[in-house]
Amino acid sequence: MRTCTLFLIAAVSGLALAACSPQAQSDAAAAASDAQKALTEQVDSLKSQLASAATVADMTAPHADAGPAVYFVNLKDGDTVSSPFRVVFGVYGKGVAPAGTEKENTGHHHLLIDTELTDEEMKFAIPNDETHKHFGGGQTETVLTLPPGQHTLQLDFGDKDHNQFSPPVMSKKITVTVQ
């Protein structure tokens, strides 16, 4: 705000001097141009800050659905990342525990990379391979190394035996571009 005020004072002073000489007119025009550029930069910065705040608010807003869900904490659909990159898993409505833990309402994360589970696969334990990553130790994040290009990611939350809950607890599939 102080910067804007100083620019406005400089612009007004310059305009008052404009009546005096051609040099004063040139200086006034330059001051007005500088003030306009500075103001535009501040407006753009504020717009960016508001957009970031709105994104955080959307990510942390209470969910209308009280049921369990998994989600990506640090990634969203359409993000561009550099490999290797960090993926943080979130869950609400369930607790995280290592595979095999006999505790009600707990499970662990699985990460599906460039794949999806078919209806048939949903009936059995989730496979463990390059496109179906298991985090049976109760991990809530990982670092992925993927080749450049577009990749899909989806979280799945499995029970103590790597099976689906009923109903399944899966995130929306997102697409990220790896540079």
pLDDT at 12: 47
Give the domains, in start order, of the chain with CATH numbers: 2-60 (no CATH), 69-178 (2.60.40.10)
Q: Compute the CA torsion angle 128, 135, 179, 84 (nearest 10 deg).
A: -120
pLDDT on residue 21: 73
**In sequence order, what are the residues at sequence separation of 6 or more whose Cβ sits closer than 8 angstroms to the Cβ of residue 69?**
63, 91, 92, 93, 169, 171
Beta bridge partners of 72: 89
Q: What is the pLDDT of residue 61?
A: 56
**In order along the chain (179 residues), what is the average pLDDT of each group of 10 residues?**
47 49 77 81 75 59 71 97 97 94 94 94 90 96 97 96 92 97
Which pLDDT value is given to residue 30? 81
Strands (E), the chain: 69-72, 80-81, 85-92, 95-96, 106-113, 132-135, 141-144, 149-158, 164-170, 174-178
The CA–CA distances, whole Å, from 49 to 42, 109, 121, 154 equal: 10, 32, 43, 28
Q: Which of 134, 116, 124, 131 is nearest to 171 (CA)?
A: 116
